[in-house]
Structure 1
């Protein structure tokens, strides 16, 4: 399904609080944090020239977040950053002065962090980031996972020393349980979704994602004309769309938000003209995007900045995974998880949809930016869907490079 954004807020400036979060000063904060991380390096921007020629566009570029900070996902930029910001601020209140990122490993900061517990609900990747951030500063982490999160993903989070708490039901149920127990135990919730009265921390999480645009713009010879970006609750889509709008104004790329057809809360919200919760049905293979209610902050931004919303099927996502793993014409192979490839699935769908082609002004000069939001964060699932272990795809890419 494809839907042009017809919201009454479409095209309006971002609200002041969102412009402050996603603007240049906010992006600078994230880069200051990353500069003190030992394992930080910009992720690659991979061109797929053969695929671009096959599709009749000028360029297809993939920002590969599967290599981010050792966590295999763009989420590494959000949760950990929010945890550190909160610890810095709490330490600063105790000391009566601002605390710099360079003091991240100081005894006084770790003494503050040791008294704090950070909690979140997760499909897998956000929880790893929060747990890694807590471990970085010496805090505790309590991570709530719903019934659909695989044991492999649970184990990957637990490796950072987090307490793992299983919750019956869906991601939304785990969000509610994390909030309830955290209120009882005075834990700090670091959620990547927002609700009435809880916006600042999710906004910090989104601020972390602005680095993706910063790096991509340095890696490109000219800005993209289109961005196809996947969404669960909408955090990364809103962060990238908002930062591009603030950075490039009218020259910002057209933004298409892509969701699983079985969990399309933003598409439904765009149809209704306001945030809605969709019913939980059959699970989608795109596990990291299986969310049934949008983040209110993300929706507020996307209602202004997204040009269109669309959905893709499980079959289309799996086909995109395989297309990236087995490229043609000398393009480099990319390990994309079942949620990481969704932008490509959306692009392929849109190019076969006459309404979408007209609405998005595709031509042979279009420069398409995609984000591989995760690598093989569940290697067993990846092998099941692609028929190859991720390390074999990586080895093939190295040989072809």
Structure 2
């Protein structure tokens, strides 16, 4: 693939209701509202900004463009805490034989609750953001965390995890093998895995994590409705294992049915497992292998979450694989806004959606794609910047390099 180019698969079956097999009830409005109500009880909870970049929208020849900025999430510079905290909350509620409705994050911190629970160690594999979220939640609740990072992970992200008091290290494994290491050691030492991907016998916690991510969708809908807007026409979602993308896709599909926004999935070319699965088109998830080298560390995953994949398979309209420079372009666009637009500090995994829509709208080679995806001058597009500058050195290199 040449610099600045993308590969794609259009899902012509996405709008054929009879072809769907997956059920979305676990991502219904009621379930997501329950997750959001749990998050509302956190000290300092505020919905993250949904920023309308009107000048950029006009420049790209569309009606509206919104950037949901997750760099403001609980001071952790990324969205992952929504999934990790909710899954840990659900896990502890189950352990206490209590409904999550009756608990708050604050109540789980109490000495009485901690005495009932005893000492618990949570473990996970991560590029940085998810591991930091698990470690932060464990620390807040007086519990322990052990975090494994794949080779090539940044020292800055490791340091951020270590700062929570967790045990953490960069392994010589790729992401998927680091997940297996966490699962093996959990079994060996009696720890509990908090991972946003699923496998045989491990599906409940990944589903809870996806419900936690749904808080983003609920916030967006509330923010747009205050502006008198029912919904976006299009949503661009980045995918690693597909849990985040599947959560937002599932929420909107459950909320709006056949009237849901068109959804575009985007991945890095070296770790495009969702794109590969869509390309093979046998309905099954397919892995990519190797070192998974990409600057989009949060998306450097080779094996799809089967729960997320089934949702994306049945409901998403297109799947894109793109080179790293598409994400770099997105970072620079958001960091250097047109006059009148707000600056957004977005990391490599957060900015790839902006990079993609900019490329599609400004390169004549992709006019047929715009037509197929109904991206016209009336398009109202939502992009979710899932992280800020979680690797400051990389962010600076992209801006200054």
TM-score, reference length from structure 1: 0.91
CA RMSD across the alignment: 2.0
Asked whether 1:368 is paired with 2:378, we answer no
Query: Which contiguous aligned blocks of 4+ residues in structure 1 show a shift greater than 6 angstroms?
Result: none
Query: How has the CA–CA distance of structure 1 residues 185 and 50 changed in structure 2, closer, same or farther, with 3 Å as cutoff?
Result: same
Asked whether 1:357 is paired with 2:364, we answer no
Q: Which residue of 1 aligns with 2:3?
A: none
**In the alignment, which of 344, 353, 360 is matched to residue 343 of structure 1?**
353
Q: Offset at 1:114?
A: 3.9
Q: Which runs of 5+ in 2 are unaligned?
A: 1-6
Conserved? CA contact 1:84–1:133, under 8 Å: no
**In the alignment, which of 356, 367, 387 is matched to residue 400 of structure 2?**
387
Q: Which residue of 2 aligns with 1:307?
A: 317
Distance 2:150 2:319 in 1: 27
Conserved? CA contact 1:10–1:303, under 8 Å: no
Q: Tell me, what secondary structure is at the counterpart of 1:357?
A: helix
**In the alignment, which of 305, 322, 344 is matched to residue 334 of structure 1?**
344
Conserved? CA contact 1:39–1:70, under 8 Å: no
Q: Tell me, what secondary structure is at the counterpart of 2:202?
A: coil
Count of matched residue positions in the alignment of Structure 1 and Structure 2: 384
Q: Which residue of 2 aligns with 1:70?
A: 75
Question: Could you list the per-position Cα deviations for residues 230-285 of structure 1 after superposition, in whole angstroms to 9, with x for gaps in the alignment?
Answer: 11111111000100011111221100000011110100000112211112256111
Asked whether 1:108 is paired with 2:108, we answer no
Asked whether 1:215 is paired with 2:216, we answer no
Distance 2:61 2:223 in 1: 23
* Mapping of residues 223-234 of structure 1, within 5 Å: 223-234=231-242
**In the alignment, which of 85, 94, 99 is matched to residue 89 of structure 1?**
94
**In the alignment, which of 238, 259, 262 is matched to residue 270 of structure 2?**
262
Distance 2:169 2:15 in 1: 39
TM-score, reference length from structure 2: 0.91
Q: Tell me, what secondary structure is at the counterpart of 1:374?
A: coil
Distance 1:35 1:329 in 2: 34
Q: Offset at 1:78?
A: 0.7
* Mapping of residues 316-331 of structure 1, within 5 Å: 316-331=326-341
Conserved? CA contact 1:43–1:63, under 8 Å: yes
Query: How has the CA–CA distance of structure 1 residues 381 and 225 changed in structure 2, closer, same or farther, with 3 Å as cutoff?
Result: same
Q: Which residue of 2 aligns with 1:198?
A: 202
Q: Which residue of 2 aligns with 1:396?
A: none
Q: Which runs of 5+ in 1 are unaligned?
A: 389-401
Moved more, 116-125 or 351-360: 351-360
Q: Tell me, what secondary structure is at the counterpart of 1:209?
A: helix
Question: Could you list the per-position Cα deviations for residues 307-350 of structure 1 after superposition, in whole angstroms to 9, with x for gaps in the alignment?
Answer: 11012211111111011100113211100001110111221233
Asked whether 1:159 is paired with 2:169, we answer no
Q: Which residue of 2 aligns with 1:40?
A: 45
